[in-house]
Amino acid sequence: MDKKITFFGAGSASFGPVTLNDIYHSKTLEGSTITLIDIDEEKLNRVYDIVCKENEIKGEKFTVEKTQNQKAALKDADVVICSIEHGDRFFHRWIDHRIPHKHGSTEMMAENGGPGGFFHSARQIPTIVDIAKEAYAANPEVFFINYSNPMSRICLAIHRAVPELNFVGLCHQINLLLIDLPHIIDDEMRNNELSYLEKIKKIREYIDNTKIVVGGLNHFAFVLDMEDLRTGENLMKKFNANLMDFYKKDKWDRFHFADLTFEIYKRTGWFPYVGDNHLAEYLQIAKDYTKYEDFDDWIELMEQQNKGILGMLKRNHKRLQKGRYPKKGVFKRAVSGERAVAILEAMIENKNTYEIVNIPNDGIIENLPQDLVIECTGIVNKEGVYGVKLGKIPVAVATILRIEASIQDVCVEAILKESKDLAIACIAMDVNCGSFEMAENIFNEMVEVQKKYLPNFK
């Protein structure tokens, strides 16, 4: 296969190593050119050296190149994978988390939603839209994969700025549920009658053979249907009957499925699979079911994991420089569970597989805005990625999603137009603000400390 795959943010600790690992496990993509680009030259050189060594160990199956020139990176690119973060990810994330809260915002965590999420969006969207525009100009047939957050808002901005671009946004939150799913719907698994290896095998079987139909927004989506692809059996009755019994209090996780998740499930009747730490970004009631200190701990945990991955890369790079690199390499022996490479393979091989994707609504969910970018179940084949039609989703779910959809609408418009008035309006209208005075105070302080990374709001 002679494809050029350009990887923006190749030094990313979150998605860089795992995606490169998955590429090296793909027979379908063998013969492709992997182009690495990152604004941090030290990180770029480190990843490039390691990838070149892995390529050597595995028999030079790919052509590997690096550049810091965007135009060169995009020239002749068939696929662009974007996982960039404009600015220091955790330095700014702590600011996004602290400053709105200091001014009275009720948001519990700021990454993709809330007043803090607005500023994360404002740092990310201009840079990624610029990449998307240039990618399309270089090759109108290019396939663009976005991993960067805030996923929904970035993808909506791409859709509005480059409407003809073929793109998809990918997130791994569904994995929180997938690893538990066999325990919920299978009696043998639930009753612990299998050995550890048998359980692992069964989990893999369920992941491969269960069609999960979801709908909503990234980090704010719900399980709407479920089917066993081997038998055609609808699994929703079993799922709902056993769910709360499986997630007893001793299994609740303050970072994932806990009080907020199960309150929303109880009140709407539909399970939000994204976890408390993400639901809390979009719901004002989150303050009643979560603790602000827990999200401090969550961000700290993510920061330490990020440092750990970067530390591992540094150590392996030093071993490489000293001629002590492991003979078998350091990439994992199995794929990561991220879905970019699986989707590329499904498109090339016309597999007709199901994937959880972020794509423009365009008639998939009738009672949400049609130009919204939604998270849904998609079918992947040689024609591309197409959403499974859902019609009208449950009214209680659609209602809370429309509130966030309206905020995203204003958010993207404010950033693309560099409008200070719209920016303040967006923050004020957010369910975790509700005050123009508070919004203006948040805006003024955030612009002061992040000005270098924000649009020129005027």
Tell me, what's the pLDDT at 108?
94
Tell me, what's the pLDDT at 317?
95
Phi-psi category of 49—alpha, beta or left, where left has phi over 0 and alpha has psi -120 to 50?
Answer: alpha
Could you count the other beta carbons within 10 Å of the beta carbon of residue 118? 31
Average the pLDDT over 389-400 and give the result: 97
Least confident of 41-50, 102-111, 331-340, 371-380: 331-340
**Residue partners of 429: CB distance under 8 A and separation at least 6:** 406, 407, 410
What confidence tier does 249 reach under pLDDT thresholds 50, 70, 90? confident
Give the tens place of pLDDT for each residue, 251-277.
899 989 999 999 999 999 999 999 999
* The domain over range 1-458 is classified in CATH as 3.90.1820.10: yes
> 1 vs 428, which has greater pLDDT?
428
Q: Are 109 and 298 in contact (CB under 8 A)?
A: yes
Give the tens place of pLDDT for each residue, 278-307.
999 999 999 999 999 999 999 999 999 999
> Residue 260: enclosing H or E segment and its boundaries?
helix 259-268
Tell me, what's the pLDDT at 112?
95
**pLDDT of 92 strictly over 80:** yes
Average the pLDDT over 34-58 and give the result: 94
**pLDDT of 87 strictly over 70:** yes
Extents of the domains making up the chain: 1-458
Tell me, what's the pLDDT at 191?
67
Give me the percent of the chain exceeding a pLDDT of 90: 84
Phi-psi category of 89—alpha, beta or left, where left has phi over 0 and alpha has psi -120 to 50?
Answer: alpha
Nearest-10 crossing angle of helices 16-24, 340-349: 40
Tell me, what's the pLDDT at 238?
95
**pLDDT of 247 strictly over 70:** yes
What confidence tier does 5 reach under pLDDT thresholds 50, 70, 90? very high
**pLDDT of 14 strictly over 80:** no
Give me the percent of the chain exceeding a pLDDT of 70: 98
What confidence tier does 332 reach under pLDDT thresholds 50, 70, 90? confident
Tokens of 96: 């996004």
Could you count the other beta carbons within 10 Å of the beta carbon of residue 198? 12
Bridge partners of 81, per DSSP, are 7, 145
Picking from 356, 385, 412, the residue whose alpha carbon sits closest to that of residue 112 is 412
**pLDDT of 28 strictly over 80:** yes
**pLDDT of 70 strictly over 80:** yes
What confidence tier does 206 reach under pLDDT thresholds 50, 70, 90? confident
Tell me, what's the pLDDT at 193?
67
Least confident of 30-34, 121-125, 194-198, 362-366: 194-198
Tokens of 326: 């492991």
**CA distances (Å), origin 30, targets 52, 143, 179, 383:** 14, 18, 30, 21
The alpha-helical segments, DSSP class H, found in 10-61 are 16-24, 41-57
Give the tens place of pLDDT for each residue, 150-170.
999 999 999 999 999 999 999
Average the pLDDT over 132-142 and give the result: 98
Mean pLDDT computed over every residue of the chain: 94
Distance (Å, rounded) from C-alpha 324 to C-alpha 311?
17
**pLDDT of 188 strictly over 90:** no
